[in-house]
Amino acid sequence: MDLLNTLVDKGLRRELPTREEALAVLATSDDDLLDVVAAAGKVRRHWFGRRVKLNYLVNLKSGLCPEDCSYCSQRLGSKAEILKYTWLKPEDASRAAAAGLAGGAKRVCLVASGRGPTDRDVDRVSRTIKAIKDENEGVEVCACLGLLSDGQAERLRDAGADAYNHNLNTSESTYGDITTTHTYADRVDTVQKAHAAGLSACSGLIAGMGESDEDLVDVVFSLRELDPDSVPVNFLIPFEGTPLAKEWHLTPQRCLRILAMTRFVCPDVEVRIAGGREVHLRSMQPLALHLANSIFLGDYLTSEGQAGKADLDMIADAGFEVEGADRVTLPEHRAARDCGSHPSAGCGSAGDTGCGGHDAGGCGSHEGGGICGSAPAPAPAADEPRPDLVAVRRRGAGTDLAPNA
């Protein structure tokens, strides 16, 4: 296929595809799906070999959020029966993190619900970062606390944070349809604050909220322009009690196309399969490892994930290997860049990768939605609702039960 050969060549050169080419990936047929996965897999293996980086989430504060993000079980007005608790003590958060690190994770992601941290919250999280790093040499810590005010990113960096996560989630044109209490521009501003402070920026998307192919391409192209080091791809978990509980638009094949498109647009980025992979990829999760080089181990913020042991078995059975703490995630050209801006963020040890350069290019010959010379593929059929696959987390942080790692 001329399209896939073109996209592989561009991916190996870190050259930006055209929007038409990205849309064509999303419009490919099921008959072409394995060819799409194989092509994107060449780009993934070129930059990351067969390594899979493991990350572990610790939900520092669950529920009780004043924001109205329609997709979120912790939102204002949510009737989802999730765990609700206020800030974990640093020693409790460190204990939860240790379980994930023992399972092979090299990054701990500290998340707290809310619009954004107060200065007191930053102090609290700083103590938690110190507690985790004191107990675990070489661990990466990423904070995800909402919208940042001036100076807060620098304080987190000085406390030892390596990265900051804040997702764009969807396209700018549709952002107001899912959230009204803050704006798309607010999110962009926080990612830029993290960058400016020398933190490794982590920003991604949520697929499955009723968005169009054009919306998906818009948000991934916007991410490439922001140049985060990590791009988590979430698949909507339709929690009962949230406005999007009835949104079941994803099939495993659709998820794989979205991951492939993300890989082609951001060829040397750490593409991370995040929330919802078990719900929507299901038995096709191993194929997704040919596209993404990073996953979350175990449970998520408010939902249960696949058992940690099953994650490790899946990686091994698919012919991949867990990336060790002694390996640098970044391709050499990006590791050198990040070492110059933030010496503590993975230089010479564990690091993340980014979306590559911003030099646009492409032949512009793949107009429309199909492979070159073919008719556009029909829109994918909606997935059958599977609320039985959505399990609320009842273990780990905020409980007396051992975490899943």
The response to whether 142 counts as a known ligand-binding position is yes
Name the active-site residue from 144, 202, 266, 355. Answer: 202
Name the active-site residue from 14, 19, 44, 65. Answer: 65
Is 109 in the active site? yes
249: Cα within 13 Å, side-chain hemisphere:
14
Taking phi first (over 0 means left), then psi (-120 to 50 degrees means alpha), and beta for anything else, what does residue 63 get?
left
Contact 107, 140 (CB under 8 A): yes
Name the active-site residue from 72, 144, 255, 355. Answer: 72
Q: Three-class SS of residue 358?
A: coil
The response to whether 69 counts as a known ligand-binding position is yes
The number of residues making up the chain comes to 405
Name the active-site residue from 14, 109, 157, 355. Answer: 109
Is 272 in the active site? yes
- C-alpha angle with apex 96: 145 to 123, nearest 5 degrees? 40
The response to whether 255 counts as a known ligand-binding position is no
Name the active-site residue from 157, 187, 272, 277. Answer: 272
Closest CA to 121 of 97, 149, 145: 145
329's tokens = 């995630």
Contact 135, 127 (CB under 8 A): no
The response to whether 347 counts as a known ligand-binding position is no
Name the active-site residue from 19, 75, 107, 142. Answer: 142
The response to whether 109 counts as a known ligand-binding position is yes
Name the active-site residue from 69, 144, 255, 355. Answer: 69
d(CA 325, CA 331): 15
List, in order, residues 6 or more apart from 151 with CB less than 8 Å away. Answer: none
The response to whether 355 counts as a known ligand-binding position is no
The response to whether 72 counts as a known ligand-binding position is yes
Is 69 in the active site? yes
Residues in the annotated binding site: 65, 69, 72, 109, 142, 202, 272
List, as residue ranges, the binding site for [2Fe-2S] cluster: 109, 142, 202, 272
Q: Provide the annotated active-site residues.
A: 65, 69, 72, 109, 142, 202, 272
